[in-house]
Every structure is written in structure tokens, then in C-alpha cells.
Amino acid sequence: MSAAPTSDAPAANADSPTLGDHIARQLLRLGAVVGLKDADAALYAELLVTSLGNASQRLLSQPPPSPSFISDDHTPVEFSLSLRPHAAPVLRVLAEPGCAAEDMAANGHQGLLAIRDMARRWDISTAQLDRLEDLFFPPSAQGPLALWYALELRPGGVPGMKIYLNPAASGPQQATATVQKALHRLGHRQALAALPDTAAYPFLALDLGTWEAPRVKVYTTHPGLSAAEACALNRAQPGPAPADIAAFFRIAAGAGLPAGVRNEPETRLDRRPALACHSFTEQSTDRPSGFTLHIPVRDYVRDDDESLTRADALLTHFGVDPSVLGDALSALTTRPLSDGVGLISYLALAHERDRQPRITAYLSSEAYAVRPGHGHTPPRPSTPP
């Protein structure tokens, strides 16, 4: 696989910054935090800006190019840090290349063009994505997204690529059938039956390019989740220890003690719902090889200072040095963490077969707005049945 040529990142304009200026500066600073070489970080920054097309040239004083679902302030970019014990932090970026399109059908078309351009650059096959094009890109596409891509920003200038698709593109009532057809075409014919019950299928994701074990990932939505129910969601074998899932849930959600301890009722996530993700790598068994639980921490804290406190506690619990996350937040913004909420949008516990669990923190760019913090609002306990 050939690496792309190196290039300088876009020049920033301090007097009238554009979206491209803003996200390029953030990526360069984050690259320094995780130890990427300057040339690699500059290449990835240029690629990110280019993939957004004309949207990257819009001034930040203008409204966002669209109500992008990626972030609360509609910035069409999100960063994340994947952290595990005794390993270098991994920086990733998520983007919506069709964010400036006039409708979802055009959004998807522009996204496909951007993905295929990147795939040619790195000699990455899009065969898996091509098999699904008619399912996820109908003429009258619906929903909050058409196509997102994520890049795992690896040393050497050749990233790992992931594609995120909308199972409800032909309407919410078709989402289950769309997931089933997609899994069948990708060789996972019995995979849907292995998944937990869900309120919705928000995403189906594909690994493209060089991965140790390329995955097909199915995301499910779980309103009102408790710690015990979170443990029961896992279908991966072997999966994460229930004690790890419960500890993650309680720390990330601020849920406190287990149900029944000191007669406290069980705490549930009654605002933005949790997401689960099951990954499939083996067609012979159609049992999930991985499980991830995502907690929307921004909806269960007072401000980002509290979010960072929870994230630090999580990382420490799972044997990870928490200092890199604080450095990453400083690379994104100079605002006091107590001045807003959402800089850390989600915290996730991910488990893949034969690997240590990892914690992922999803980080908002905040190109357009800072979501105001609010009074201390811990999750509301549910009424015992």
C-alpha cells in the first residue's frame, strides 16, 4: 500500500478564521499531544480540510454549513482519543464530507466521492461499501446523516478508515430490514439475531483498508439504561467482564452505588440514551467479536470540569494515565472547562477479543458554539417496579 505524499497544512487566518483554519489548528495540536510527527499531522489536517470541500472555506462568523448531527453546535468534525494501558494514545477524527449539500441524497453522493478519492490515494478497496450503495443511498434519502468517515491517524501518513452509514436512509420503518440485508451481503447472515433488542439502529459502520481484523459494526440505542441492563447488552463471546461494564457505567454516568446498596433505587439514563455497538469479524460463527458501550456524559454532568473528573476516574480505574486527556482538551480550547458542557461528548468502554479494554473519549471541536453548562443534574433514579 502506497503512502500519500506529504504536504503542509492549510495556513490559518487569525483575523477571519474559516472552519478549515479552526479544525486544522486543532488537529495539529492534538497530533503533537499524541506524538504524531509534524509531517503526518500536517498531511492529515490537509486531507480533513479538503474532504469538506467548500464548507471548509466558510468563515466561522457564518452559520454552520448544515445542522450536522456530529456535534451539538453542528461542527461537521469530531475528534476522539482511544486509550488503553501501556499503549500509545490513538487519535481519530470523524467528519461529514457532504455537510454542505442541499439534501441528504446529495450529502451521500458527495460523501461517496470523498471516500473514493481517499481510497484511491491509499489504494484502499471500497468493495464492501460498493455492495451496500443501493441500501444506504436511495434517491430520496432520509435521516440526520448519509455518510460519515473516521480516520485513525497512524504514524507514517496512512490512516485506518471507517465508514458510518444510516440504516434509516429509506425511512425508520426500514432500518431493521436494511441492517439485515447489509449484514447478509457482507457475509454475516445470522448476525442480526445475535444483537440485543433496541429502540433504533443509528449506525452501521465498516472498516476499510488495513486492519488486523476488519469489522462490520452495528450500533443500537438503549433509552433509560441501568447498569445491570448495560451488562446484559453484551453479546460478544468472550466479552468484557460484567464488573468492568458496571464500573464503567457508574463512573461515566455518575450513577453511584449499585441498586440495593443503602436502599438506593437503581439509576437510569433518562436523558440522551446510551449506545451499544457490536462488531463482527468472523462469518463462520456470526457471533460478535467485540462490544462497546457509549455513555453521553455531557447530558449527565454540570460542566466539562465534571466530565473530565469522571473521565480521569475511568482511566485510572482501567490502568491508563489520564494526563493525555487533559492535554488534549487544552489543545482544543483555552476556555475554562467550567464555562460549558460538551467538550467531552461521549465516553466509551470498548472490548475486542484478545485485547485489553480501552476507554475512548469523544471530543467536540466547538467551532461554532459552546453549549452552556447547567446546574448539577445527576441522573434521576427510576421508580422501582
Average pLDDT for 289-301: 97
What does the angle CA 37 – CA 42 – CA 48 come to, to the nearest 5 degrees?
Answer: 130
**pLDDT of res. 257:** 52
What average pLDDT is seen over the chain?
91
**pLDDT of res. 258:** 55
Kindly report, residue by residue over 93-122, the tens digit of the pLDDT.
Answer: 999 999 999 999 999 999 999 999 999 999
Kindly report, residue by residue over 364-385, the tens digit of the pLDDT.
Answer: 999 999 999 876 444 433 332 2
Angle between helices 19-34 and 323-332 (to 10 degrees): 160
Average pLDDT for 309-336: 97
Angle between helices 19-34 and 38-51 (to 10 degrees): 150
17 by Cβ neighbours in 10 Å (0-12 / 13-18 / 19+) ranks as middle
Say what the pTM is. 0.91
Average pLDDT for 289-317: 97
CA distances from 135 to 165, 182, 264 (A): 10, 7, 46
Average pLDDT for 158-176: 97
Average pLDDT for 259-273: 75
Q: Residue 133 pLDDT more than 50?
A: yes
Residues in the chain: 385
Q: Is-contact 36 155, C-beta < 8 A?
A: yes
**pLDDT of res. 382:** 33
Kindly report, residue by residue over 209-227, the tens digit of the pLDDT.
Answer: 888 778 999 999 999 999 9
Residue with cell 458510518: 164
Q: How confident is the model at residue 256 (pLDDT cuts 50, 70, 90)?
A: low
